[in-house]
Amino acid sequence: MVTLATGASWAIAGLSTAGVIARPMRWPEWIWAVAGAVLLIVLGLMPWDEAGRAVAKGGDVYLFLIGMMLLSETARDHGTFDWVAATAVNAARGSRIRLFALVYATGVVVTTFMSNDATAVVLTPAVFVAAKKAKADPLPLLFACALIANAASFVLPISNPANLVLYGGHMPPLGAWLVAFALPSLASILVTFLVLARVERTRITGTCESNVVREPLTTGGKLALAGIVLTAMLLLSVSALDKPLGLPTALAGIATAVIVSLLAGRSPLGLARHVSWGVLPLVAGLFVLVEALDRTGVIAWVAGGLRAMLDDPTRAAAVSGTTLAFVSNLMNNLPAGLVASSAVAQVHPPQIVTDALLIGVDLGPNLSVTGSLATILWLQVIRREGEDVGFLTFLKIGMVAMPLALLAALGTRLLIG
């Protein structure tokens, strides 16, 4: 029986999530997530101490995002993105389709070795600059960044922070991971590329500028690029040791920002003022909303439904992975992943079911523009550059790309067994 308090908690969580997705009055996403969390506390539906513990659960995610955003802003401020963009445009040799393929391939590499959030905040600004230099329509290239950020986000454990959330911070050995996810990842990447290239074919055909001037990298630009590369190596090393990624990423980002700024004779505080800090309260608010759902028994209900399907693990994997993929677009994949992680901790399903859930929570958000934290970050980056993508615009591509890629990836994983 649903009590008044339970119904109120569900209503607040639902309205808050709807606010994040729809952005009424064009207010930033974080306002709606925080408003929902505050309302739960003010109405006495969640004690302050429990809300505080919920916020604290996101500590590793906050640190990871801080490091990535500082790396991105340092690279942007010191011309690294301009240099990378000119390099990509010249490599395309006047072909828009070749430029599109180069951007997509670069997105695969960045997502694989630095995470999908890095693709959103580090690669996207460079791609926007490349589009301007090439005098090409930026949207197909920007869509490539958004979709590959999710399509390639289960190549490695570090490719998506949601992977750490779903496995509770204890990842399978790298060898076992690659056996389970190498072929599904390849299927996801290829299908997403083919769909996006087909949908955007009229805008990626023809010629573009080539042989654009590439200014030499400044010392600051070189150091920023080195900081990004070293951070990628650091993440691989830390992941291999099964340690949290947040603190090392934050320290790498802070060190890069401080060193580059001081050598350039600037204050690091000036650089920090341009970082999109609103993503941190957004994540904190989402953690509180998930905790509220846990208190109302939603997670126990989800765990019960998952347990009831385990007589047929293959069917359970297919149904649960597909369901989670679509649910991630209704409540964002971070809270969806937290709910799934809590349910998995209670049920202890076979590995194939957990793997299917991970594919769903990683790939599902390619359906809608607010489905994942990476695409929300991507939105903030392109808005800063004067572009914007509405919910329906993204959905027209996502409703084709996501289901086909999900079918390919889940089908491949189930065939592996």
Residue 170's pLDDT is 62
pLDDT (tens digit per residue) in 346-372: 888 999 999 999 999 999 999 998 888
- Residue 25: C-alpha distances to residues 16, 19, 29, 97, 404 (Å): 14, 10, 11, 37, 34
CB neighbours of residue 135 within 10 Å? 12
pLDDT (tens digit per residue) in 374-388: 898 898 889 888 888
* Confidence check: pLDDT of 96 > 80: yes
| pLDDT category of residue 171 using cuts at 50, 70 and 90 | low
State which amino acid sits at residue 384: R
Residue 168's pLDDT is 62
* Confidence check: pLDDT of 397 > 50: yes
161-177 mean pLDDT: 74
* Confidence check: pLDDT of 93 > 80: yes
Instruction: Report the percent of the chain where pLDDT is more than 90.
Output: 38
CB neighbours of residue 173 within 10 Å? 11
Residue 253's pLDDT is 93
Residue 169's pLDDT is 56
- Residue 140: C-alpha distances to residues 144, 176, 203, 261, 351 (Å): 6, 35, 7, 33, 37
Determine which of 17-31, 57-71, 107-121 has the lowest per-residue pLDDT on average: 17-31
21-45 mean pLDDT: 84
76-96 mean pLDDT: 85
pLDDT (tens digit per residue) in 244-297: 788 999 999 999 999 999 988 888 888 888 888 888 998 899 888 888 877 887
Residue 272's pLDDT is 85
* Confidence check: pLDDT of 1 > 70: no
Residue 294: both structure tokens together: 């846990």
State which amino acid sits at residue 32: W
Q: What is the 3-state secondary structure (H, E, C) of 392-413?
A: HHHHHHHHHHHHHHHHHHHHHH
Number of domains in the chain: 1
Instruction: Report the percent of the chain where pLDDT is more than 70.
Output: 98
| pLDDT category of residue 319 using cuts at 50, 70 and 90 | very high
* Confidence check: pLDDT of 2 > 60: no
Residue 303's pLDDT is 87
* Confidence check: pLDDT of 301 > 60: yes
* Confidence check: pLDDT of 237 > 80: yes
Smallest CA-to-CA distance from 394 within 372, 374, 377, 370 is with: 370
**Phi and psi, residue 207, nearest 5°:** -105, 165
CB within 8 Å of 269: residues ≥ 6 apart: none
Average model confidence (pLDDT) for the chain? 87
Q: What radius of gyration do the chain's Cα atoms show?
A: 21
CB neighbours of residue 198 within 10 Å? 10
148-169 mean pLDDT: 83
Q: Which domain holds residue 367?
A: 4-416
| pLDDT category of residue 413 using cuts at 50, 70 and 90 | very high
Smallest CA-to-CA distance from 401 within 364, 355, 362 is with: 364
